[in-house]
Amino acid sequence: MPKISGKCLCGNITFNADTDIKMMANCHCDDCRQATGAAFGTLLFVAEDAVEINGSPKAFKHTADSGAAMQKLFCPDCGSQMFGKNSNRESILSVRAGVVAEKDLVQPGANVYLSSKIPSTPVDPNVKGYDKMPG
Ligand SMILES: [Zn+2]
Ligand SMILES: [Zn+2]
C-alpha cells in the first residue's frame, strides 16, 4: 500500500498514512475553489482511520448542495486546507493533493463539478469528466 504523508505550510500539522487511495478527483465546485483559493481542488479519498494526524486542525463546518454535512479541516496557524469529511461518506477522509509529499501518487481519475469550473481552466480530455459528482 502506498505511503502518504505531508504537512501544512507552517509545518505545525503533519500526517502519515499507509493505505490504498480509493479515488482521486479534481473538484471544480464552488466550495473547493473558495476554500482553497485555487482554480480547483484535487482530492485523494482514503480510509479515515488509516490517517495519523499530528497537530490540531481547525474544522469549518458547512452544508453542501447535496445536503451533506461537510467539514473542511485546516491549519489554524497558516491556513492550509488539508482534509475534508462528508457525512454521506462515513469513515472516508479526503486529503488535498497540495499538502501531499508523494507527488507522483497524485493521478486524478476524474474531473467533477465541471458545470461550475472557471471557463479558462484546462481539462485533460483523457480524464473522465462529470458535470456534478457521479453517484
Ligand atoms: Zn500550518
Ligand atoms: Zn469540491
Domain harbouring 28, CATH code: 2.170.150.70
In a domain, 124, yes or no: no
- Please check whether residue 45 lies inside any domain of the structure: yes
Question: Is residue 135 included in any domain, yes or no?
Answer: no
pLDDT, tens digit (0-9, with 9 covering 90-100), for 35-85: 999 999 999 999 999 999 999 999 999 998 889 999 999 999 999 999 999
- Tell me what pLDDT residue 31 has: 94
What is the rounded average pLDDT for all residues in the chain?
96
What residue has cell string 472516508?
A: 92
Distance CA 34, CA 22 (A): 25
The answer, yes or no, to whether residue 13 has pLDDT greater than 80, is yes
The answer to whether residue 127 sits within a structural domain is no
**Distance from Cα 101 to the centre of ligand 1, integer Å:** 15
In a domain, 122, yes or no: no
Average pLDDT for 97-108? 97
- Residue 28's identity, in one-letter code, is H
Residue 128 has pLDDT above 90, yes or no: yes
* Nearest-ligand number for the alpha carbon of 54: 1
Of residues 102 and 65, which shows the higher confidence score?
102
Domain count, the chain: 1
The verdict on residue 103 lying in a domain is: yes
Q: What is the CA(15)–ligand 1 centre distance, in A?
A: 12
All three cell numbers of 2 = 502506498
Residue 130 inside a domain? The answer is: no
* Nine-digit cell string for 22: 480509493
Which range marks the domain in which residue 111 is found?
A: 3-117
Q: Is residue 32 part of a domain?
A: yes
Residue 119 C-alpha to ligand 1 middle, in angstroms? 31
